[in-house]
Structure 1
Amino acid sequence: MSDKNASMQRRRFLKMSAAGAAVTILPLSWHTALAAERLDPNSAQAKAMSYVENASDSTHSAYKEGHNCANCLMFSDPSQAEWGPCAVFPGKLVAAGGWCNAWVTRG
């Protein structure tokens, strides 16, 4: 394969990858509008994940001071100050100041 042909294929791959990433990421920005209700901390799913609306109320051994939904990678819209979408709880809003055991550092 010539260098020119390899370069063209690489460019095509990068363009297709970028397009695929855009299609994947765009729905995250619409997710906040689609999430109609707040997650009930008493729901089975919330309890299974040790979710609390106020992170400092957590008694889970994995909780560390300063960790909350707003600084978690799963919190899909960090621009939300009070309630926002979370990948762990699709279709629900979680408290930005909350916490659950799926917390992952936003890096």
Structure 2
Amino acid sequence: MTHPRRVFLMAIAATGTALGTLSTGARAQAKVDEKDPQAAALGYAADTAKVDAKKYPKHAAAQTCSNCALYQGKPADATGACPLFAGKVVAAKGWCSAWAKKA
């Protein structure tokens, strides 16, 4: 007969392993490629300093993905999710023409 305490401890261990795998998987999301059709259409650049000023005259150097209202990463993260690029992450220092000031 299996002891209830042993079952409980095994369940805790399994849950911890599963959560660790999920969080690692979330961090391993693919980065948006600047040549991706959606990224190209929005003028996405992984580095805001490399945005074509003639093509995007409203761009300002201080505008980055990390200070955009759409950015879902934490301020200190190097990358974060963006609803415009489902399943992929954008560079915190990146920029696209959909940039909107974070409230």
The two structures have a TM-score, normalised by structure 1, of 0.65
Q: Which runs of 5+ in 2 are unaligned?
A: 1-22
Partner of 1:45: helix, strand, or coil? helix
Q: Is the 8 A contact 2:47 2:95 kept in 1?
A: yes
Q: Which runs of 5+ in 1 are unaligned?
A: 1-29
How far apart, in 2, do the equivalents of 1:71 and 1:96 lie? 8
Q: Is the 8 A contact 2:34 2:44 kept in 1?
A: yes
Are 2:71 and 1:78 aligned?
Answer: no
Aligned residue-pair number: 77
For each residue in 1:12-33, what CA deviation from the matched residue of structure 2 results, as whole angstroms up to 9, or x when unmatched?
Answer: xxxxxxxxxxxxxxxxxx8x82
How far apart, in 1, do the equivalents of 2:94 and 2:29 lie? 18
For each residue in 1:41-73, what CA deviation from the matched residue of structure 2 results, as whole angstroms up to 9, or x when unmatched?
Answer: 111111000000000111122211200000000
Percent identity (aligned): 30
The Cα shift of 1:98 comes to: 0.3
List 4+ stretches of structure 1 deviating above 4 A: none
Listed as ranges, the matches of 1:1-107 within 5 Å are 33=26, 36-59=29-52, 60-107=56-103
The two structures have a TM-score, normalised by structure 2, of 0.67
Q: Is the 8 A contact 1:69 1:98 kept in 2?
A: yes
Bigger Rg, structure 1 or 2:
2
What is the RMSD computed on CA atoms of the aligned residues? Answer: 2.0
Structure 1 counterpart of 2:33, one-letter code: D
Distance verdict in 2 for CA 1:36–1:57, change over 3 Å: same
